[in-house]
Structure 1
C-alpha cells in the first residue's frame, strides 16, 4: 500500500524478476556480458547502496525488504526469462518463481514463457503447465539468447495462445523483460525496415561449460545487450485475431510514437517499467503524456523491472507526479483516479487479483486530493 494526500492506494508491480546472474551460473562469454550489462544499467538507474551480489542473485530477503517492505507493493507479477544458452540453470525460469511463490504465499502472480522461434514443438505441454502453476499470463521471449526479432506471424502461435487463454493465461507480455535498452527518447529510431544484426554465436567448443570449465571467458563484456524486437504488422494481426487475449507491451519496446499507434486496438496495454526511472525529465513527461493520451489511464500498468530498479522510489514519484506547467494543458489529467488505476487497479483487473479498496489514511482528512497535471 502507498498513502499520499489522504488516500491509500493498493500497488501491483506488473514486472518483477527473480533471477540468478551470478558467476557460477554464467554458461558462456555472452552470459557474462549479459550479467555485466545488467549490473551496469542497474548502477545507472538505481545503484546507490545496493551490493552487486543482491542484483546478481535475487533472494527472499531482498524481495521482502525491497519490494513488499520499502517498495509499498502488495502483489507482484513474476516475468520468467530462461536464456538457457547464457546461464547454466536458467536466468529467471518459472520453476524458481513457483518455488518462491510457495515460500511467500499470497504475494505473487505467475507468468509462463513461450519462445515463438521454437516452433510448435516448443509449445507442447504449455496448457497443462498453465493449469498446474495457475499461470495468469505468458511472456513471449527467446529461450536461448537474444538474437533478433520475435516471429509473431505463425498460425500455430494463435492456436496455442487461444488454448492457454481458455486455460487461464489470458495476458500475453511482449517486449517485457530484463532490458538494457536506453529510454525510448534517448536512442535514435532505427530506419524503417532495418534488421537487427545477430550477435556472433559462440562455437560449442568455446563455451566454458561444454569445454569442461564453469569459468566464463572475459571477452566482449563491454557490449550492450538488447532484447529482441518484433514486427508491428505481425503483432497487429495477432492481437486482432485474439480479442479475448490482453497484450501487455513494454513502454520501451518501440519508440513512443509507434507504440501509441497501437492504442487503437482495445486489447493492448502498456507496462511503464522502462520509462519510470526518468520521471524528472522532459523526455518522460512527453512519453508518459503521449501514452496516457493514447491508451488512457485504464490501460497503463505500473512496473519496476526489479531488481533492475527498486519499486519504492518509482511508486512515490509516479503517485506524486505533476506534468511541467507548459504541458499541463497538453496531456490528460493525472489525478487520484488515474493514480489508483495505474498503480494497482489495472493489473488487479487483468491478472484477477483481489485487492483491498483504497481507503482514507487514519488521521487524514477524507476524500481524494486532486492533482492537475
Structure 2
C-alpha cells in the first residue's frame, strides 16, 4: 500500500519477471543482445538514483524481488508475466521454476502466469493442459515476435494460435497478456504489430486481451482497436517510465488512453526488473497533465487508484481491503468521450 497526503492506494504490479541473462545462460550472441537492450531501456529511462549495475541487472533472484516490490516498493500484489526465449537462453530467460515456486510460497502476494508458443503444435497443447493444472493458471503471457527455429514470429490469427486460445477458453485461462510494444534486439519490430489483437478479441469475447506496453509505438492503432473491443486492456509497462524522461509524452499516452478506453481498462506495471516500482508509483501519484495540454482532462484521484491496482485486482479476483476500495460506479463507457457527449446532446 502507498499513502500520500492522506490518500491510500492498493497497488497491483501487473507485469513482473524473474530472469537470468547471465553469460552462462546465453545460448548465442542474441542472448547478450536481448539483455543488453533491456539494460539500455533501464539506464536511459530511469532516474540516476535508480540505475542498477550491469551485473545486478543480469540476475536478481527471488529474495531481491520480494524486497524491491513488497518491502521497498509499496506493492500489495504482483503478477508474473514470463518470457521463455529458448532460442537465446539455455534455461529460458524467464525463470519458470523459481518464479512459480516463489508464487506458491507467497500466494497472498504473487500470481504466476505462464507462457506458450503455438508453433509447438499438439505437443505444446498437451503441455499447456498440464501447465494449467500444475500452476492453476489464470493467465498467460505471449511473445509474438519470439524466434522458433526458422520462424521469427507468429500472429494471433494463425490457425495454431486459435487452437491454443480455444484451449485457454476450455481451461479457464481467461487473461491473455501479449507483448505488443517496443522492439527488443534482435526481435523484429513488425512481429509486435497490434493488428491481430482486433481479430481475436472479436472472436474470443469471453477472453481478456491485455496489450502490454499499450501497443507502443503504435498507440493510435491500439486505441482505435481497444475502443471498439471492450475485452482489450492496456498495460503501462515501458510506457510509465517516460513519466521521468519525457513527461509530456507520458501525458499524451495517458490522455489518449483515458479518452479512448477510460480508466477501467488500464493497468499499472513496473515491468520489474526493467524498473523498480517505488519511484514509478510515487511519480504517478504526483503526476498531473501539463496545463497547456488542454485537449486532455486531468487524471483524477479515483482514476489513479483504479490504474494503480483496483483494475487488475478485479480481473484477478485479488482481495482488496474495504478501506481501499472505491464506491461502486458505472463502468466507464467505451469509445471517445467527446463523441459520446455529442451524440447525447
TM-score w.r.t. structure 1 length? Answer: 0.78
User: Are positions 1:357 and 2:322 aligned together?
Assistant: yes
Helix, strand or coil at the partner of 1:243: coil
Deviation sequence 1:153-185 (CA, Å, 0-9, x none): 2334334323323423200011168x665xxxx
Does the residue aligned with 2:70 lie in a helix, a strand or coil?
coil
8 Å contact from structure 1 (residues 77, 109) kept in 2: yes
Aligned to 1:244: 206
Structure 2 counterpart SS, 1:326: coil
1:36 offset after TM fit, Å?
Answer: 2.0
Cα distance in structure 1, aligned partners of 2:220 and 2:324 = 37
| 2:177 match | 173
Match of 1:16 in 2: 16
**Residue in 2 that maps onto 1:277:** 241
* Change beyond 3 A, Cα 1:59–1:84: same
1:255 aligned residue: 218
For 1:58 and 1:144, locate their aligned partners in 2 and report how far apart those are by CA, in whole Å: 27
Q: CA deviation at 1:111?
A: 1.0
Matched with 1:186 is none
On the 8 A contact 1:276/1:284 being kept in 2, the answer is yes
Name the residue aligned to 2:2. 2
The counterpart of 1:330, out of the listed 292, 295, 302, is 295
Deviation at 1:152, TM superposition (A): 1.5
Structure 1 stretches (4+) deviating beyond 6 angstroms? Answer: none
* Structure with larger Rg: 1
Aligned to 1:83: 85
Alignment partners' CA distance in 2, 1:358 and 1:241: 38
Number of matched residues? 317
CA contact (8 A) 2:195 2:221 kept: no
Partners of 2:295 and 2:65 lie apart in 1 by: 38
The Cα shift of 1:284 comes to 1.2
User: 1:229 — aligned with what?
Assistant: 191
d(CA) in 2 for partners of 1:282, 1:253: 15
User: 1:105-116 maps to which residues of 2 (within 5 A)?
Assistant: 105-116=107-118
Q: 1:146 to 1:314 in 2, by over 3 A?
A: farther
Q: Is the 8 A contact 2:288 2:298 kept in 1?
A: no
2:147–2:153 CA contact under 8 A, matched in 1:
no
Cα distance change of structure 1 residues 2 and 116 upon mapping to structure 2, 3 Å threshold: same
C-alpha displacement at 1:310, in angstroms? Answer: 0.7
Q: Does 1:318 align with 2:284?
A: yes
1:126-275 equivalences under 5 Å are 126-141=128-143, 142=146, 144=148, 148-175=152-179, 229-230=191-192, 232-250=194-212, 251-263=214-226, 264-275=228-239
C-alpha distance in 1 between matches for 2:217 and 2:316? 24
Cα distance in 1 for residues equivalent to 2:153 and 2:194: 11
Q: Which runs of 5+ in 1 are unaligned?
A: 182-222, 361-373
Preserved CA contact (<8 Å) 1:76 1:107: yes
SS across alignment from 1:84:
coil
Q: Residues 6-85 of structure 1 correspond to what in structure 2 (within 5 A)? A: 6-46=6-46, 48=49, 50-85=52-87
Contact 2:113 2:141 in 1 (8 A): yes
The structure carrying a bigger helix percent of its residues is 2
| Aligned position for 2:335 | none
- 1:217-249 CA-partner distances (Å, limit 9, x unpaired): xxxxxx665666345443222111100100000
Distance 1:66 1:145 in 2: 36
TM-score after normalising by structure 2: 0.84
The one-character-per-residue Cα deviations of 1:38-90 (angstroms, maximum 9, x if unpaired) are 22222112364523232111212211221112211111110111111211111
RMSD: 2.5
Distance 2:302 2:35 in 1: 39
| Mean Cα deviation higher: 58-67 or 138-147 | 138-147
CA contact (8 A) 1:9 1:358 kept: no
